[in-house]
A and B are shown apart, each in its own frame.
Chain A
Amino acid sequence: MTHLITEPHFGTPGIRHRQAYTPGDDFYELLIEGHRDLSDAQSELMNARLVLLLANHIGDLRVLREAIAAARAGVASTAEARHE
């Protein structure tokens, strides 16, 4: 990985946290809350929309290329492991 950040990276500029996990937990709660009361199909669509919005925000194709490869690698290795 030369462009994709894989270290914990959540935060709000100007706000510091006593516990390093707090901003990540803040994000995760936002994400789960964002899915609240959606059907499975709606949740899938929401996730896809979220990916596209964030991808556009990032913009840098070098980052996106690495992110797509990293995300797929974990899924493919799980799929392969199942076939073994």
Chain B
Amino acid sequence: MLKTYTWPRYAYRRAPEIGQAGVRRVPLVVVGAGPVGLSAAIDAALRGLPVVLLDEDDTVSVGSRGVCYAKRTLEIFDRLGVGQRVVDKGITWNVGRTFHGEREVFAFNLLPEAGHRRPGMVNLQQYHLEQFLVERTLELPAIDLRWKHKVARVTPGEAFATVEVETADGPYTLQCDWLIVADGAKSPIRRALGLDIEGKIFQDRFLIADVVLDGEPFPANRTERRFWFDPPFHPGQSALMHREADNVWRIDFQLGWDADPEAEKQPARVAPRIRQLLDSQGFAHIGFELEWVSVYTFQCRRMAKFRHGRLLFVGDAAHQVSPFGARGANSGVQDTDNLLWKLQLVIAGRAPASLLDSYDAERTFAADENLLNSTRATDFMTPKSRAAKRLRDAVLSLAEEWPMGRALVNSGRLSVPALLTTSPLNTPDGDAFDGWMVPGAPLDDAPVRAAGKPGWLLPHTSAGFVLMLFGVPDVAQREALEALSRGPIPVRLLVVMPTGEPGPADLTWLEDAEGLVASRFDARSGTAYLIRPDQHVAARWRRCDAAAVHAALARATGQESQA
């Protein structure tokens, strides 16, 4: 059905374990090669962990599904090595226009804050993203990606988990120290184990259509996302038009709970809806072809715990949100960002297994924030009572006139990462700081110069722990801080120098090209930040000594109870 994309078919290979005596034991298995499972496997490989990645299918996502990738996710993709491809292929959009009835309520421009490498959001069909991730796995020999290997049964155990796999050549069994479960919203593994996932189903249905337009609705570089409350072409419901790559457009129609999903999916029913929408927007001259159509409902829910012994649940398997606000795939990729460095330390014997409980603490906290925001957007877009609808319509009418009304219109808040302020891994501030780089915050990017060449801060903090120190350390401090790089969990020293000031020749240093590092981190000479391998702030000081860094490192790696 797709006109713009041909699914790759990836080769099935016979498992070497079939017919062998004994059961092979591996450190890490990931189940599910969607965007989240693939990200987990790539992250594992980049951290030096061999990983077996199992998928029951042999291709990428059918239909475009997830389309919006937010800035933090793009930064993680940069670390994983696919960020540039995603940005190059995807659509960066800034202008959003919101309508109520026939009138435009307001327009916003998401023009990104200057001084970040990545924009707030990029739109890209999920199959393109998955293909880029699959191609990246091929560059990493530590990944053993097995297509058409279907997990039949998982048996959790105290010392390891057992995974029984079915293939065309027969079954085989693996034992693994750790199992990452990324098998999606319906998670067969979660279900088979009878693990709870709680929340609510929203009583509403949405038609989702990807269409190829044969003309250009908007002037070059002025791509708009349009959202309608109660438009004349679709009275009483909402609608959305969003651009994807290859001149494909995502068009969404709210249908209501009573709609018949099978009937609504029929092209004869879908095509006139889309024609009416295009005609009403002044796009009567533009023709279209349907690429993909689906009718969906959604749930907002999460598992009570994401860690169950040696099983670690990530992405949709662990939590599901409404699509409004793009918090599904984004939060799943952020799960893996949080998990893999911890798993690497645990597998290497450098941190206790209890460090993985912080994955649960941090990512259930983030999931709750995502659930809250996506539930609020859903409640605004589909009011549950007459009173709620009247208030919603009042907000929309005020929005035409006053900024206070516009601020309350909620058609999905831009996906932003959680500040993990309650994390047990954080060392609370002892010194006063302004700004947002609080312990638990993901790092803000900023322009820097390294060896005179312009670049960005984040790539310099993407492997292992980093101590980012503003200004030149004195001799005594320097010796102690350099010794940190030789510890069992190395901490690399990264010096940041003010614009125009050279750093010490024999230390790694960056020039704060526009002064934005210092302003975003509220830094002055002597300020130091301990940064986790997932680019979150673990601790910060106005003046640090090695003992304080040691203590913060122990805390950030779950070893505080032994300290």
Spell out A's residues near B (CB within 8 Å). Answer: 5-9, 18-21, 24-25, 28-29, 31-32, 35-36, 38, 40, 43-44, 47, 70, 73-75, 78
Known: A29-B376, A32-B379. A43 touches B387 (CB 8 A): yes
Known: A18-B416, A25-B376, A74-B398. A32 touches B403 (CB 8 A): no
Known: A25-B376, A43-B385, A74-B397. A19 touches B413 (CB 8 A): yes
A32 vs B379: C-alpha distance when bound (angstroms)? 9
In the complex, what's the smallest C-beta–C-beta distance from B289 to chain A, in angstroms? 37
Q: Any chain A CB within 8 A of the CB of B220?
A: no
Q: Any chain A CB within 8 A of the CB of B111?
A: no
In the complex, what's the smallest C-beta–C-beta distance from B212 to chain A, in angstroms? 34
Known: A6-B402, A7-B403, A38-B387. A28 touches B410 (CB 8 A): yes
CB–CB A25/B419 < 8 A = no
A24 vs B373: C-alpha distance when bound (angstroms)? 12
- Could you give 28 example pairs across A and B, Cβ below 8 Å? A6-B401, A6-B402, A6-B403, A7-B403, A8-B404, A9-B404, A18-B436, A19-B413, A19-B416, A20-B407, A21-B407, A21-B410, A21-B413, A25-B373, A25-B413, A28-B376, A28-B410, A32-B388, A35-B387, A35-B388, A38-B387, A40-B386, A43-B386, A44-B387, A70-B402, A74-B397, A74-B400, A74-B401
Chain B residues within an 8 Å CB radius of A47: 387
Chain A residues within an 8 Å CB radius of B391: 28, 31-32, 35
Further pairs besides A25-B376, A32-B391, A36-B385: 11, Cβ < 8 Å: A5-B404, A6-B404, A7-B403, A19-B416, A28-B391, A28-B410, A43-B390, A44-B387, A74-B397, A74-B398, A74-B400
In the complex, what's the smallest C-beta–C-beta distance from B419 to chain A, in angstroms? 6
Chain B residues within an 8 Å CB radius of A20: 407
Known: A32-B391, A40-B386, A40-B387. A24 touches B408 (CB 8 A): yes
Chain B residues within an 8 Å CB radius of A6: 401-404
Q: Any chain A CB within 8 A of the CB of B99?
A: no
In the complex, what's the smallest C-beta–C-beta distance from B117 to chain A, in angstroms? 20
A25 vs B412: C-alpha distance when bound (angstroms)? 11
Interface residues as binary, B259-295 with A (CB distance below 8 Å gives 1, 0 otherwise): 0000000000000000000000000000000000000
Q: Any chain A CB within 8 A of the CB of B380?
A: yes
A70 vs B401: C-alpha distance when bound (angstroms)? 9
A24 vs B514: C-alpha distance when bound (angstroms)? 33
CB–CB B386/A25 < 8 A = no
A32 vs B413: C-alpha distance when bound (angstroms)? 18
Q: Which residue of B lies closest to A47 (CB)?
A: B387
In the complex, what's the smallest C-beta–C-beta distance from A43 to chain B, in angstroms? 4
Q: Which residue of B lies closest to A35 (CB)?
A: B387
- Secondary structure at chain B's binding surface: helix, strand, loop or mixed? helix
When the two chains form the complex, which single residue of A25, A31, A35, A73 contacts B410, counting CB atoms closer than 8 Å? A25
Q: Which residue of B lies closest to A74 (CB)?
A: B397
What number of B residues sit within 8 Å (CB to CB) of A?
Answer: 26
Residues 367-393 of B contacting A (Cβ, < 8 Å): 373, 376, 379-380, 383, 385-388, 390-391
Q: Which residue of A lies closest to B395 (CB)?
A: A28
Spell out B's residues near A (CB within 8 Å). Answer: 373, 376, 379-380, 383, 385-388, 390-391, 395, 397-398, 400-404, 407-408, 410, 413, 416, 419, 436
Chain B residues within an 8 Å CB radius of A78: 397
In the complex, what's the smallest C-beta–C-beta distance from B121 to chain A, in angstroms? 15
When the two chains form the complex, which single residue of A7, A32, A40 contacts B404, counting CB atoms closer than 8 Å? A7
Chain B residues within an 8 Å CB radius of A70: 401-402
Chain A residues within an 8 Å CB radius of B390: 43
A7 vs B385: C-alpha distance when bound (angstroms)? 28
A13 vs B388: C-alpha distance when bound (angstroms)? 28
Q: Which residue of A lies closest to B397 (CB)?
A: A74
In the complex, what's the smallest C-beta–C-beta distance from A24 to chain B, in angstroms? 5
A8 vs B410: C-alpha distance when bound (angstroms)? 14
Chain A residues within an 8 Å CB radius of B385: 35-36, 38, 43
A8 vs B520: C-alpha distance when bound (angstroms)? 25
In the complex, what's the smallest C-beta–C-beta distance from B329 to chain A, in angstroms? 20
Chain A residues within an 8 Å CB radius of B395: 28
Residue among B387, B398, B416 with the highest chain A CB neighbour number at 10 A:
B387
In the complex, what's the smallest C-beta–C-beta distance from B56 to chain A, in angstroms? 39
Chain A residues within an 8 Å CB radius of B383: 32
Chain A residues within an 8 Å CB radius of B373: 25
CB–CB B380/A28 < 8 A = yes
Residue among B380, B385, B397, B416 with the highest chain A CB neighbour number at 10 A:
B385
CB–CB B408/A28 < 8 A = yes
A44 vs B408: C-alpha distance when bound (angstroms)? 21
A20 vs B403: C-alpha distance when bound (angstroms)? 12
A-B pairs, top 9 by smallest CB distance, nearest first, are: A43-B387, A8-B407, A6-B402, A35-B387, A74-B397, A24-B407, A7-B403, A24-B408, A40-B386
Residue among B376, B395, B413 with the highest chain A CB neighbour number at 10 A:
B376
A19 vs B376: C-alpha distance when bound (angstroms)? 15
A12 vs B313: C-alpha distance when bound (angstroms)? 36
Q: Which residue of B lies closest to A34 (CB)?
A: B387
In the complex, what's the smallest C-beta–C-beta distance from B429 to chain A, in angstroms? 15
Q: Which residue of A lies closest to B405 (CB)?
A: A6
A40 vs B398: C-alpha distance when bound (angstroms)? 22
Chain B residues within an 8 Å CB radius of A43: 385-387, 390
A40 vs B387: C-alpha distance when bound (angstroms)? 6
A15 vs B126: C-alpha distance when bound (angstroms)? 38
A57 vs B395: C-alpha distance when bound (angstroms)? 22
A5 vs B407: C-alpha distance when bound (angstroms)? 13
In the complex, what's the smallest C-beta–C-beta distance from B282 to chain A, in angstroms? 21
Residue among A21, A28, A40, A70 with the highest chain B CB neighbour number at 10 A:
A28
Chain B residues within an 8 Å CB radius of A44: 387
Chain A residues within an 8 Å CB radius of B400: 74
